[in-house]
Amino acid sequence: MLDKRQAPAGAKSAQSAKVSGIWPPVTTPFRADLTVDFDRYIAHCRKLLADGAHGLAVLGTTSEANSLDLGERETLLERVVAAGIPGGQLLPGTGAPSIGDAARLTRHAVGLGVRGVLLLPPYYYKGVSDEGLFAFASEVIGRVGDQRLALYLYNFPQMTTLVWSPDLVGRLIKAFPDTVVGLKDSSGDVAYMETLLSRYPGFAVFPSSEALLLSAMKKGAAGCISATANTHVANIRRLYDGWQGPEAEALHKTAAAARAVVQPYGWIPAVKAILSAREGKPDWMRVRPPLVALDEKKKAELMQALAPLGG
């Protein structure tokens, strides 16, 4: 079983073929003692794949990955793979503020045969130069030292205050053409995303919003990695499949409408509240500090607002 998922070390394999489509950043359920509820987590992963996800961007921001210990992040990934979800459908976040911890998580993920990893910039320091970010990414890649590594830069300046600038992205692609193969852009900055798409054809760019998916696909994007793909993946998949068809605009409007309703409630608590309401599981509401769960009133409001859109 493991042989099927793992490519031989040192050989580029099918797992590094271009990633595309809809990859939900899987939200992480917690028990009352704040430990990860693995059974519910695996069930959620399976449902997302059954409902149309091409793969799973586990351990991202929406997953509260940076509220998990390093060891928990490794264990979670092992549990997902042990549950039979193919490594080829996994794109975990492996960022950490230090080179060593980021390399450790990345090496571990590559060892499990994942399709690729999403790398945040080192998000403690502010006002960091492109030179420093280039050195950081280069060190991580060098320490992982595995040709199977497919690295997707994770751009989220609202959280990190740092940007993988278009020039820096180009420099990294040039230095590591078989490794630095894509980028998830959570900035919402359309001009930034379009700059990447026009400068680096073939580089796999994922906006973080289904509201941007149609226009982004027209410019060559690879798909999207969106918080609300946790709750509305079927709609987003239909848009992805139909973006060149006659229904494209209608599919876009349907997907964008649900997202617009969710946004004011805060992505992470809101996504969990929707899953809680749908499954009738109050436990789904729980988040780890410093985040705060929605209260029941807000949850009811949110579900009421989503009702005309099918929930």
The site for its own copies (CB under 8 A) is made up of 34, 61, 66-72, 97-101, 104, 121-126, 128-129, 131-133, 135-136, 138-139, 158-159, 161, 288-292
84 by Cβ neighbours in 10 Å (0-12 / 13-18 / 19+) ranks as exposed
Minimum CB separation from its own copies for residue 168, in Å? 11
Amino acid at 152: Y
Minimum CB separation from its own copies for residue 7, in Å? 27
Q: Identify which of residues 6 and 61 has a Cβ nearer to its own copies in the complex.
A: 61
- Render 72-135 in DSSP notation, one character per residue: HHHHHHHHHHHTT--GGGB--B---SSHHHHHHHHHHHHHTT-S-EEE----SSSS--HHHHHH
Compute CA distances 295 → 265, 274, 286, whole Å: 11, 12, 10
Minimum CB separation from its own copies for residue 72, in Å? 7
Q: Identify which of residues 72 and 283 has a Cβ nearer to its own copies in the complex.
A: 72
Minimum CB separation from its own copies for residue 223, in Å? 25
Minimum CB separation from its own copies for residue 95, in Å? 9
Distance CA 299, CA 283 (A): 13
Q: Identify which of residues 274 and 293 has a Cβ nearer to its own copies in the complex.
A: 293
Minimum CB separation from its own copies for residue 184, in Å? 16
Q: Identify which of residues 161 and 304 has a Cβ nearer to its own copies in the complex.
A: 161
Distance CA 270, CA 122 (A): 27
- Residue 45 CA to its chain's centroid (Å): 13
Q: Identify which of residues 3 and 69 has a Cβ nearer to its own copies in the complex.
A: 69
List own/partner pairs for 64-69 with CB under 8 A and 24 or more apart.
Answer: 64/27, 64/28, 64/268, 64/287, 64/288, 64/291, 65/28, 65/93, 66/95, 67/288, 67/289, 67/290, 67/291, 68/28, 68/36, 68/288
Q: Identify which of residues 65 and 197 has a Cβ nearer to its own copies in the complex.
A: 65
